[in-house]
Structure 1
Amino acid sequence: MTGYSKNEWMKYVQNDIGDIEICDVTLRDGEQTPGVTFTREEKIDIARMLDEIGVEIIEAGFPVVSQAEKESIKAIAGLGLDAKICCLSRAIKSDIDAVLDCDADVVGIFIGTSDLHLKYKHKKTQQEAIDCIVPAVEYAKRHGLIVRCAAEDSTRTDLDFLKRYYKAGEDAGADYVSIADTVGIMNPTTMRFLVGEVRKTVKIPVCVHCHDDLGMAVANTLAAVEAGATQLHTTTNGIGERAGNAALEEVLLGLLLQYGIDRYKLSTITDLSKSVEKYSGIKIAKNKAVVGDHAFAHESGIHIAALLENDRTYEVFTPEIVGGKREFILGKHSGSKALCYMARQMGFTLTEAETNIVLEEIKRLSEDKVSFRREDLRELITGLLTDKKAVIA
């Protein structure tokens, strides 16, 4: 028993899946969430937890932003983690020098390439953008950095120009090219197509950086995997600018269940999620996949009865895989099996008559939007059955 169910439908689909690596950008793009700032100690803690999970690259920040940012990145680079440490840089020499000052391993060098960015942000032509990225890549390579040549707003960039831009980056010595879905405009079909087209143009690995403006960042990231993308960018809890980025926890579970990629230590993912929730102040939605409070919570009596026989009936993976816990919540849709199971867990043995009394009260109260977790249920049972001499097992 593996504790999870593989997607058997994948055997019918031809995919071009190569070596995958995660570049987690929680400490950089995640910190660009409006109102979010991590302290140096918080960044170090998050970096250690990402490293424990097995994330291959940690994008620790954008060093030109401030001296404090640079010092935090340098502290992370000095931890001796297994993960490579990456920094972001514009296609400007002084930005790259700031990265070098941090002792980072990898630099992601970018310039906006869409007509919108070129016209309104950079005031440059397409050729001028290439003329910026080429010397920047060459300079970073001469100074010993692993270089990711990124096109900001790639997914709204003219395809022929995007190919020329990436080819110029490759010829300048880049180790990766990076597709940034900066405004989250893609869907899995268009992402699969674009990655395929870029892979026809360059021989170096392709990265994808997906935003969640249309709620498809994780789906687009996995579609990119199927098209042969190598480096996947994520943030813990999917935090990031506007609607956020592809969520680390969802991408890792997707890689495991859909494609059998089983080299990450997922048992600490919930602890990481809770830490980032605390440090960022961004509350996790209760129904958030993998790490939300309701990810393994069940109320329906039919569901709970089946789960008590075999937990695969209504869970695609066990909560223990990600360090979570299963929870039964009693309410309008609950039945006697769930009630008796939860009661026994707390040391109560209920007769059939007592079960009916408690269940009737649960259903009555549920009409007022009340539901019962473990401690709530203990109080209800004690209160209802004190005079009825409920048997304590």
Structure 2
Amino acid sequence: MSERIYIFDTTLRDGEQSPGASMNTAEKLRIALQLEKLGVDVLEAGFPAASDGDFEAVSKIAEKLKNTEIAALARTSISDIDRAWEAVKGAAKPRIHTFIATSDIHMKYKLNMNRDEVIQKAVEAVRYARAYTENVEFSAEDGSRSDRDFLCKVFEAVIESGATIVNLPDTVGYAIPSEFGSLVKYVIDHTPNISKAILSVHCHNDLGLATANTIAAISAGARQAEVTINGIGERAGNASLEELVMALHTRPNYLLLSSNIKTEFIYPTSRLVSMITGITVQPNKAVVGANAFLHEAGIHQDGMLKNPMTYEIMKPETIGLGTSRLVLGKHSGRHALRSQLKELGYDLSDDELKIIFSKFKELADKKKNIVDEDLEVLVTEGILRTTDTFRLEYLHVTSG
């Protein structure tokens, strides 16, 4: 029987740190609802102390979602933790996620603190957060470049102080899979009270190894994986939810691990995040890229016609990508439009569908076939777009 891996999605926090990926509250809420439908165990909704907008978004998400744990990020300061709790206290399952750096380079140049001071700060933060909730996660920022024994000492101290999840991040994407797996095993073997907490990992993709490092870590004993949709995130991004989940789904006999993700919602969720953030998924992206289920070579096509599993290790339907698609045009009705929008990840209300259907008919009179990108523009302009703060009415340019 396989063991369960908890999926911690940080698309709305770390994912939003991708250059140009800033989202407003309405957009974050729409993604959050889709992530709950997808079945993530924990949703990191944001960093409430960062801005009033982030606080508002975290609060709205906490109030709206009913089944998913909602985490708010906080530094190890009293004001940050107060702000985080204020934002998530309305959640059915709130979590405070506090962090401090533990690597020598960060302690010396960023924190200007010694090891004892860092441990004291971490312990005080966890104890303070525990006064609000029993669900407290602690992260050792830059953990993969920290001294192993010091890392174990920090984890032991925060678990003793009440942390129920301890997170080991590869903050700068420096680790190699075999090395990172070894580090996870070392932490498990040398942290005396580790059995009282869930060990988590958070991997970045600077060397293109985020998903591989995450798999190495959970194979070594970590039981929570922090990931994002489409692998978006700071710099080169994070471990990709869809890659990790489908690796578990496709290789269960080897990994002996599983998740509660409803895989048929992976593709619609990917499209929704891409559309809202404006970050295009590269065509050759694993699992959700446009080319992931396309075959051009003659030998491959021949094999596919005889048996699709000759060149496909997963069925497109498994991730919510249908094999047949409706062709939309001026004769299409509301039902067909709603069906296609749902496949793209947009579950609209009747009033929202009415708005989009009207715009769809206008476009269909001008264009023979309506493609997915057209529908996404209609939804963005008609539903997702917020009221303009400024509008350009006239532009006059003189040169020479």
User: C-alpha displacement at 1:325, in angstroms?
Assistant: 4.6
Residue deviations 1:198-238 (CA, integer Å, cap 9, x gap)? 11212221000000000010011111111111110000000
- Where do 1:303-342 residues align within 5 Å? 303-325=300-322
Q: For residue 278 of structure 1, what is the aligned residue in structure 2?
A: 275
Distance in structure 1 (CA, Å) of the matches to 2:43 and 2:233: 15
Q: For residue 176 of structure 1, what is the aligned residue in structure 2?
A: 165
Distance in structure 2 (CA, Å) of the matches to 1:173 and 1:231: 18
AA aligned to 1:268 is F
Residue deviations 1:216-269 (CA, integer Å, cap 9, x gap)? 100111111111111100000000011000011111101111236263211121
SS at match of 1:298: coil
Q: Larger C-alpha radius of gyration, 1 or 2?
A: 1
Matched, 1:235 2:232: no
* Kept in 2: contact 1:48–1:81 (CA 8 A): no
Counting matched residue pairs gives: 313
2:208 pairs with 215, 231, 240, which one?
A: 215
Q: For residue 75 of structure 1, what is the aligned residue in structure 2?
A: 60
Matched, 1:163 2:152: yes
Residue deviations 1:300-349 (CA, integer Å, cap 9, x gap)? 1111111111110000001011112559xxxxxxxxxxxxxxxxxxxxxx
Q: For residue 337 of structure 1, what is the aligned residue in structure 2?
A: none
AA aligned to 1:247 is S
1:206 pairs with 199, 203, 211, which one?
A: 199
2:44 pairs with 59, 71, 87, which one?
A: 59
Distance in structure 2 (CA, Å) of the matches to 1:92 and 1:237: 32
Matched, 1:141 2:134: no
- Where do 1:359-370 residues align within 5 Å? none
* Kept in 2: contact 1:207–1:232 (CA 8 A): yes
Distance 1:66 1:142, change over 3 A: same
- Where do 1:25-44 residues align within 5 Å? 25-44=10-29
Distance in structure 1 (CA, Å) of the matches to 2:179 and 2:292: 30
Residue deviations 1:45-88 (CA, integer Å, cap 9, x gap)? 11111111110000000000111111110100011331100011
Distance in structure 2 (CA, Å) of the matches to 1:215 and 1:81: 35
User: C-alpha displacement at 1:145, in angstroms?
Assistant: 4.3
AA aligned to 1:83 is T
Q: For residue 189 of structure 1, what is the aligned residue in structure 2?
A: 178
AA aligned to 1:184 is G
Residue deviations 1:95-117 (CA, integer Å, cap 9, x gap)? 11011111251111110111111
* Kept in 2: contact 1:140–1:147 (CA 8 A): yes
Distance in structure 2 (CA, Å) of the matches to 1:325 and 1:220: 31
Q: For residue 289 of structure 1, what is the aligned residue in structure 2?
A: 286
Q: For residue 331 of structure 1, what is the aligned residue in structure 2?
A: none
Distance in structure 2 (CA, Å) of the matches to 1:120 and 1:54: 40
The root-mean-square deviation of aligned C-alpha atoms, in Å, is 1.6
TM-score (ref. length: structure 2): 0.76
Matched, 1:256 2:249: yes
Residue deviations 1:108-145 (CA, integer Å, cap 9, x gap)? 11101111110111000011000101011001111124
SS at match of 1:242: coil
- Unaligned ranges ≥5, structure 1: 1-15, 328-374, 376-393
TM-score (ref. length: structure 1): 0.77
Q: For residue 356 of structure 1, what is the aligned residue in structure 2?
A: none
AA aligned to 2:206 is D
